[in-house]
Structures are given as structure tokens and as C-alpha cells.
Structure 1
Amino acid sequence: MTIPIVSTHVANIDIPRPKDVGVLAMEVYFPRRCISEAELEEFDGVSKGKYTIGLGQEYMAWPDDREDINSFALNAVAGLLEKYNIDPKSIGRIDVGTETIIDKSKSVKTHLMDLFAEAGNFDIEGIDSKNACYGSTAALFNAINWIESTSWDGRNAIVVAGDIAVYAEGAARPAGGAGACAILLGPNAPIVFEPIHGTHMSNTYDFYKPNLSSEYPEVDGPVSVVTYIAALDEAYSRFREKTARQLKLAQINGYSNGHVHSGDKPADPKAAFSLQDVDYALFHSPYGKQAVKGHARMLFNDFRSAPNAPQFADIPNPEAFLAASQKESLSDKNVEKTFIAASKKSFAQKTDPGMACSKRLGNMYTGSLYGCLASLVANVEPAQLRDSRVSMFAFGSGCAASFFTFRVKGDTSEIKEKMDLMNRLAAMKVVPCQEFVDALALREKNHNAVSYTPEGSIDNIWPGAFYLDSVDSKYRRKYVKAPLA
């Protein structure tokens, strides 16, 4: 997992630039316990299907006060280093994306430096990035840009994406979750990120956390859903426009997306790229139904660009959809319903293979999209995944969004085997809903506590995992490992 450490600034010598920068290894950490959303419906006394169908959720993970974002990140990175036998000295950058803030100054990244101290590696660039669920994608882009820059020193990078998503009692609480991903990035990778990004950023108040005395956010659910869809429209449009410009600059005669050919160019240049151009499509998934809506909206955008394409032959009353403005379509339930139905088969083929973490862990905030990536690698056989192209839509409230792609150029067998993701998800303990309620009450009680020892049981920590042992009188947090047996 290491490459020779070389200087990129040797006089009169051309150092080869890194190629095929992408994912070399992955690890996912999550709590040991989860609850069934179907049981939570009964526990909360709501109608059957409110969480499982309305939100599209199956299970939800959560920790008590024995775990925090620092322990999550320590476990994800420690697991990555150990499982893949990575030399700590081979890491030159660590970027963390999280919105779980327990310190207004000290970064999560600084806690991770303990994992590199024994090897004597204190020369590691990078720091935390924050904007709701988008911080992880900012971290990813930063790490890739470092490797591809003239500042690169020949070492690999690690990106950490993770959060603990908890909500006050009420309608949003079933949309919580927890988990963290650690991604090793470097050249000559089997999973290679492509250079075009379509990005959209704007100032919105759909979800935010202004009250620093509480873990709970301020949420406007309906506004957040519309903000997500509107950001997808814009980021996807920018990506498609840039793709069209790239094709034009490369003097490619016609388009390569299988349904538009030379001599048959559409009026809308965005049709240069569509859902048909990817084998898999991954979305930020705060809950399962949002990924369904995102996939459908991507298809709707394709329809708007090329309504006469064969795959849209069965869309009813297409003129009405084309006549409506983009803004009007955001709140049009008929648009949503029609294109969810039209994309049902596509979703099953292209998006559902990446939903395992979302179904079992719930909302990982910054880790959500990268849990989808890990799930895809875990669920699809390496021979089938190889040579595929995958799109990713990242979103964070407030808001920030990007649409980008990667190609699987190599063998993902080692990542699939060493993550062992599906077996580990299955090994979680599904516990009574009262344990969930009690754990959140414990977190609420001890949030920002000083001079205290967490009350949660060590039995609920995975064997060998880091957990919060204590917080002293100066708010200094101490982490230790649970016994292996």
C-alpha cells in the first residue's frame, strides 16, 4: 500500500506525475447496536410504514456517551492501517470531513495523530472540513488535489468521513444514524476519480446547528428536501455542461452516451451525459427515500434535455413536464411520482447495490455517500465492478453540493475482502427501542460535561475498539481500547 517517497522538486529532473489517483483501500466503522425502524414505528405509536416506507429506512445505528466523533475516526483509521498493513510513515496527508463538533478549536485530525506517533510521523498535512454532510467531499477533493499537485511528496493520503446523527424527540429522530469511513488515496488505484466536478453552493437555512450547547440541529424538513433536489439539478447541470465542453474541446464528433450519435446532436448540449453513461449512481442518502428521489430527479433532468430519447417513450403527458419551469417542478408531486416509477428498474440496478450501509446504519451525514461507495464495493463482485463507471452526488445543507464520477480500472477484491462489510453489518446487535431512547437521553445529559466518566456500558463497544474513557477538569478527552475478549 506504499509507494516510493520521492521529491517532486529535483532540479533538472522530470519527476513522473501521479496517474490514476483514487481509492487504494477503505474501512467503515459503526456502532455495535442498531434498532429496527419497523419496531420503532410500533414503539412510537405511529402508523405502520411511516419510517420504513415513508423514509425508506430499515435500521438505525447509534452510540451512547461512550463514543464520540474522535473515537469513531480513531477506529476507522486504525482499522484501515491494520487491515491493509499500511506503513504509518507512508501517509502524508489526512483530511477529515465531519459536522459532529465537540470542540470549537481542536480538530478531529489532531486526535488521529496519536496513531502515527509511535512511527515518528508528525509530518502529515490536512485538517478538518465542515459544512453539514458535504465536508467529506471537500476533504476528498483536497486530498486528491494535493496528490496531483506539485506539493505532493510521494506519500498517500487518508480521507475520513463520519458523524453521529441524532435528533430531538419528534419527526426527525427516525432519520438519525452513525458511522465513519476511512479511505486511502493514492496513485495507480483500482478506483480512479475523474477530473470534472459540477458544483452548486448557496446560502440556505434548511438544516443547521446554531445551538452549541446541544447536539441537535434545527431542521426544516420540507425545505431540506427541496434544497437537496434543487442542488442536484444545478450540480448535475454544471457537470453535464463541463462534460459537453470537454467533448467539444477534444474534437469528438458526436456524443458517446449510447443514445445520441454523430449527426443526431440534441439542442441541449447537456445531453452529452446522462444516467445511461454510468453503470452505477450513488447519492448522499440521509434516508433511503431521498436516494430514490435523487435518482428519479437525475432521470427527470435527462428527460428535459432529450425528451425524444427512446427510454422516455412511455412518459405520460411529456409536454406538461417540459412546459413547467425548473422551479415549478421542484414542488410538483406528479413529476416526482412519474419519474420515481420510470426509474424504478434503474434504481434497482444502479443505486440499490450501494445502499447497504444506509439500510443498516441510517444517516451517517458526511459518511453517507462514502458508505454507499463501500457498500457498492462490498456487494458487487470485483469482476462485474471492473471497468464500470460510477456517478456520485454529494450534498450538505446550508448548502453545498457536487456531482462527479469515478471509474473502476482495477481489481477491488482486496478492498471487498478486508472490509468484510456485509458480515460485519450483519453482526450488529438489533436491540429494543428503549435502549436507543435511553442512550440518546444519556448523550443529552452528558453533552459538554466536564470531569466525568461516561456511563455507557463497555459491553456495547466492539472488542478492540477505541472508546471515550473520561473527560478531565480541563475538558481533555482520554480514549482507550475495549478488551479483545
Structure 2
Amino acid sequence: MKALKPSLERQNMATWPKDVGIVALELLVPSLYVDQAQLEEFDGVSAGKYTIGFGQSKMGFCTDREDIISLCLTVVSKLMARYNIDYSNIGRLEVGTETIVDKSKSVKSKAIQVDGGKEAIRLKHLDAMLFHSPYCKLVQKSLARLVLNDYVLTPKNELAAEFPGLENFAEVKLEDTYFDRDVEKAFMTFSKGDFEKKTKPSLFIANQVGNMYTPSLYGGLVSLLVCESASGLAGKRVGLFSYGSGLASSLYSLRISKDASKGSALDKLLSGLSYVKPMLEARKAVDPLEFSQIMEVREKNHHKAPYTPQSSPDTLFPGTWYLDYIDDKHRRFYQRIPLAEQPQIQRLAL
């Protein structure tokens, strides 16, 4: 039988596509924050509990004018506008939320209306390591844990050369280390250099905003991208670990494109994130007492209907979608703060 050449279409399908991955990112943070040193004093806790113990300087928060849906509407709208993407070109929308709290299917229905094994990977193979970040100090411990895992898997005759100063732990068993403070302290000290180089740049936003839960890992990715130059990022291998609420977790890696030239995909991605630092600097500081009062309003009116939010939308960033009111059937109605170049208010009833 004569062998037939594969069709051009089949040949193209068999070719692995180049640089498939993240081509655009949009970050949204609340326009208000509370200083953590002031909050320590207000809460009556020891100085440094939040700023040192959690590694956090500021914490962003929302008033009753914003909810999971308005935040989603805002970030999608800004992403589409910033990258000039037509909604008709979107084939699939995935929404990642804490489903029990946010009801991801409900969120998606509203958002679309806007128009290898452990031995195979080692820390030394990665240029950066990013984590889900409830608190910055926890992330530092997570990196130390990775170093410990590498240590346990290293042949004993190589430990002295690869892990100098840790020879006393040569017989340690991983299952005995979870609550061992001596092991934790030793490996946090040993991994400090790797932490400063590979992980700390990813904590910039976590330090300024606090725990974002589901998107915190990608906040770490944005942090890394806005804290490094294109040439410094080009070609780097980045590890990303996302904790799955105790049931599952995910660890994968990204390779940043080697092309850092003007107009490249990497250059465009970084240019698209140039708003991040100015946005953080444009936030308004709220004193702890006012913060506490705002949180109390949200707590008292949770699931209330009908309801009209009490907070003023004037503190929100331009282009922000916000909750206008909830009717007696629990239907939510939203409005949008106008953009400078688009003065009319866009309305959306959901």
C-alpha cells in the first residue's frame, strides 16, 4: 500500500504551537485600604502582629457598594478595553471563585452579560517560585518547605555540598517535621537567599492589599511581572503553586518568552500592566475606626432585600461597576462610574 502524505491541516495540527499561555492580565484592587500598623493599635494586639507576623503593610477592602459580581464586571470590562478585545472573539469564559461563598455559576452568568511527580521538579530548576498567599510569612515558610523536600530527596553523600550547615538533619523523616520548630527555623534561615531572589518579588501586591483568596496566586504573578524588567524576565522558568482548600492543589510551571524586544508579546504584556503601581498609589487610606464601621454595615445588611447600599460610590476608581440597589426579589442592579474618555454611565440590570 502506498503511504499517503498527511494533509497540510494534519501537519499543522501535529506541530506544537509556540508560546501558548497567558497573553494578558488585569488586576483590580479596592480603592480603599487600612494601614496595618494603625489597625494593630485599634484592635489592641501586639505591635508587629500584622506588619511582621503576617508580613502585611496595608489591607484593601470594599464597602457595601461592591460585591463579587461588581468586581468581576469591572475587571472584565477593563481587561477587554485595555487590550481592545471584541466580546465576540471570546469563545469560553472560566470563572474561578470560592463557590460556596460566591456561587461561581451565578457570577459567570452575570459576567458574560457585560457584552510530573515530586522528584521531577526541584527548586534549583526554577528561577521564581510563586504561591497562594494568605499571608506573606506563610509563603516564606512554604518556600522553606520546598527546600526541605529537596533535602530529604537528596542522597546523603551530597547533602554537605548542596545543603551546607544542615547536616544535623540528615536522618529526619518528612512525616516527623510538620510541627518541628527547629526544622522550620533551620530551613527558613537556609532558604532566605532563595526567598529574597525567587519569591519575595511576587509578594508586592499581597503586602499592599492582603489575602485575595482565589486570585492571590495570579496577584503574585502580576507582582513578579511589574517588579522586573522585560530583559530580566525573558526566558525564566516560574513555578506556581495554588492551595485547594484542603481537598486538592495544583503545581505547574510557566516559561516566560525569551523575546523581550519592543513590540513582543512579553513587552505588550508588561506595558498592559503599567497601571498597577499607580493604581495602588491612588488608593485612599481609611482609619481603623471608619474601616470597622464599614465592615459592620456590610455584616448587618448581608443578604438583605430590598436594600440600597449606604456607602458613597465617589471613592471608587473610574470605570468601576458598583451595586446600585437590590430589589425585593433579590435582583441586583449595577451602575458604572464613568471613565474620563467615556462620560456616560453604562447601566446593567442583573
Q: Secondary structure at the match of 1:27?
A: coil
Q: In 2, are the aligned partners of 1:387 and 1:407 still within 8 Å (CA)?
A: yes
1:467–1:480: 8 Å Cα contact kept in structure 2? yes
Q: Which residue of 2 aligns with 1:315?
A: 166
Corresponding position: 1:351 with 2:206: no
Shift of the alpha carbon at 1:44?
1.1
Provide closer, same or farther for how the CA distance between residues 300 and 444 of structure 1 changes in structure 2, counting only shifts above 3 A: same
Secondary structure of the structure 1 residue equivalent to 2:251? strand
Partner AA of 1:482 in structure 2:
I
1:103 Cα shift?
Answer: 6.5
- Aligned residue in 1 for 2:90: 91
Match of 2:216 in 1: 368
Specify the alignment match of 1:474 in structure 2. 329
Report what 1:16 is aligned to.
12
CA change 1:426–1:22 in 2 (3 A) is same
* Paired residues of 1:69 and 1:100 also in contact (CA < 8 A): no
Give yes or no for contact 1:280–1:391 (8 Å, CA) kept in 2. yes
* Equivalent residues of 2:59, 2:209 under 8 A apart: yes
**Corresponding position of 1:423:** 278
What is the distance in 2 between the residues matched to 1:105 and 1:374?
Answer: 23
- The AA in structure 2 aligned to 1:83 is R
SS in 1 for 2:91: strand
Q: TM-score with structure 2 length normalisation?
A: 0.87
Contact 2:68-2:102 within 8 A present in 1 as well: no
Shift of 1:89: 1.5
Q: State the match for 1:73 in structure 2.
A: 72
Distance in 2 separating the partners of 1:351 and 1:105 = 30
1:456 is displaced (CA, Å) by: 1.2
Determine if contact 2:31/2:284 at 8 Å carries over to the other structure. yes
CA shift in 2, pair 1:82/1:278, >3 Å: same
CA offsets 1:94-123 (integer angstroms, 9 cap, x no match): 10111165675852111111222xxxxxxx
Output aligned runs, 1:44-443, within 5 Å: 44-99=43-98, 107-116=106-115, 196=116, 238=117, 240=118, 270=119, 272-306=120-154, 307=156, 308-309=158-159, 310-315=161-166, 317-319=168-170, 322-323=171-172, 325-409=173-257, 410-411=259-260, 412-419=266-273, 420-443=275-298
Q: Tell me the distance in 1 between the aligned counterparts of 2:267 and 2:43.
A: 42
**What's the counterpart of residue 265 of structure 1?**
none
CA distance in 2, matches of 1:89, 1:317: 61
Aligned in 2, Cα 1:311/1:445: closer, same or farther, shift over 3 Å? same
Go from structure 1 to structure 2 and tell me whether the alpha carbon gap of 1:56 and 1:436 turns closer, same or farther (over 3 Å shift). same
Deviation at 1:385, TM superposition (A): 0.2
Q: 1:369 to 1:468 in 2, by over 3 A?
A: same
**Secondary structure of the equivalent of 2:231?**
helix
TM-score between the two structures when normalised by the length of structure 1: 0.63
The 1-side partners of 2:104 and 2:114 are apart by 20
Q: How much does 1:335 deviate? A: 1.1
State the match for 1:160 in structure 2: none
The alpha-carbon distance between structure 1 residues 473 and 423, as it changes in their structure 2 partners (threshold 3 A), is same
- Deviation, 1:14, is 2.5
Looking at structure 1, the residues matched to 195 and 102 of structure 2 have their Cα atoms a distance apart, in angstroms, of 39
Q: Where in structure 1 are there 5+ consecutive unaligned residues?
A: 1-10, 117-195, 197-237, 241-269
Which one has a larger percent strand, Structure 1 or Structure 2?
A: 1
Shift of 1:78: 0.8
Amino acid at match of 1:72: L
SS in 1 for 2:30: coil
* Alignment correspondent of 1:450: 305
User: 1:413 offset after TM fit, Å?
Assistant: 2.2
Structure 2 stretches of 5 or more lacking a match? 1-6, 261-265, 341-350
4+ residue stretches of structure 1 with deviation over 4 A?
100-106
For 2:214, what is the secondary structure of its paired residue?
helix
Report the CA distance shift for 1:281/1:440 in structure 2 as closer, same or farther (over 3 A).
same
3-state SS of the aligned residue for 1:34?
strand
- How far apart, in 2, do the equivalents of 1:453 and 1:375 lie? 36
Q: CA separation of 1:46/1:388 partners in 2, compared to 1, >3 Å: closer, same or farther?
A: same
Determine helix, strand or coil for the equivalent of 1:331: coil
Deviation readout 1:370-419 (Å, 9 max, x if unpaired)? 10011111111011101000001100223221111010014422222222
Once residues 298 and 100 of structure 2 are traced to their aligned partners in structure 1, the CA distance between those partners, rounded to angstroms, is: 14
SS at match of 1:468: strand
Asked if the contact 2:244/2:250 (under 8 Å) is kept, the reply is: no
- SS of equivalent to 1:414: helix
DSSP 3-state at the match of 1:51: coil
Whole-angstrom distance in 2 between the partners of 1:104 and 1:372: 24
Q: Distance in 2 between matches of 1:440 and 1:316?
A: 50
Deviation at 1:64, TM superposition (A): 1.2
SS at the partner of 1:108?
helix
**CA pair 316-47 structure 1, distance change in 2 beyond 3 A:** farther
Q: Is the 8 A contact 2:239 2:254 kept in 1?
A: yes
Q: Which amino acid aligns with 2:272?
A: K
| Amino acid paired to 2:138 | Q
Q: CA 1:94–1:348 in 2, change beyond 3 Å: closer, same or farther?
A: same
Letter in 1 for 2:251: F
On the 8 A contact 1:51/1:57 being kept in 2, the answer is yes
What amino acid sits opposite 1:67 in the alignment?
E
- C-alpha offsets along residues 321-354 of structure 1, whole Å, 9 cap, x if unaligned? x33x322201111111111101111101000111
1:105 and 1:24, CA in 2 relative to 1: closer, same or farther beyond 3 A? closer
Distance 1:105 1:345, change over 3 A: closer
Kept in 2: contact 1:27–1:79 (CA 8 A): yes
Q: For 2:146 and 2:62, how far apart are their aligned partners in 1?
A: 34
Cα distance in 2, alignment partners of residues 102 and 461 from structure 1: 24
